[in-house]
Amino acid sequence: MLAYLFWHRAAAGVDRAEYEEAQRRFHTAIGVPSACFRLEEMPFGRGGDGYEDWYLVDDWAALGKLNEAAVDAGRRPSHDAAAALVGVGWAGVYGLVRGEPVIPEGVRWLDKPLGERTDAFLAGQGAGPAWRREMVLGPTPEFCLGAAVEVSRLRVC
């Protein structure tokens, strides 16, 4: 199971309600398990608020199909409407290393210390789902661990 994550911020002057409604329309149309969360703080040192989108796919081939589907004739209007409001974005691909293949409602983002074995690191993080970065497409943390829902992360779609 893979998760494509996209962190983004609205362009200057874009109304929050309009931005979130455009996100909801796109996520409704996309056809894979997905979610969009409003964040009080980005998880990778970029400062400020923003959004975190999750898209779940079975494998790398399905990720390619998701990429094509996002802009096919049926979805292009909702994609382009949402994309036109984005000011800046970063992305990453994460693979599920333990737990259920569902979008976590709460998360902890962290990097494994250099030299520490992955299995030992994860064992020290307690039970629960864990996603590990597979492909770097920006300044993203190495691990995403499921956690209790925090007020700094609000599902908008």
Model confidence pLDDT, tens digit, residues 29-76: 999 999 999 999 888 876 789 999 999 999 999 999 999 999 999 999
Sheet with 50-57, edge to edge strand ranges:
107-110, 143-146, 130-137, 86-98, 2-10, 50-57, 34-39, 153-155
CA dihedral 145, 148, 129, 110 (to 10 degrees): 0
Query: Topology of domain 2-128+145-155, per CATH?
Result: Alpha-Beta Plaits (3.30.70)
Report how far Cα 112 is from the mean position of its chain's Cα atoms.
19
Q: Is this prediction's pTM over 0.85?
A: yes
CB atoms within 10 A of CB 150: 13
* C-alpha distances in Å from residue 11, one per residue of 7, 27, 82, 83, 89: 13, 19, 11, 10, 10
How do residues 95-138 score in pLDDT, each as one tens digit? Answer: 999 999 999 988 989 899 999 999 999 999 988 899 999 987 77
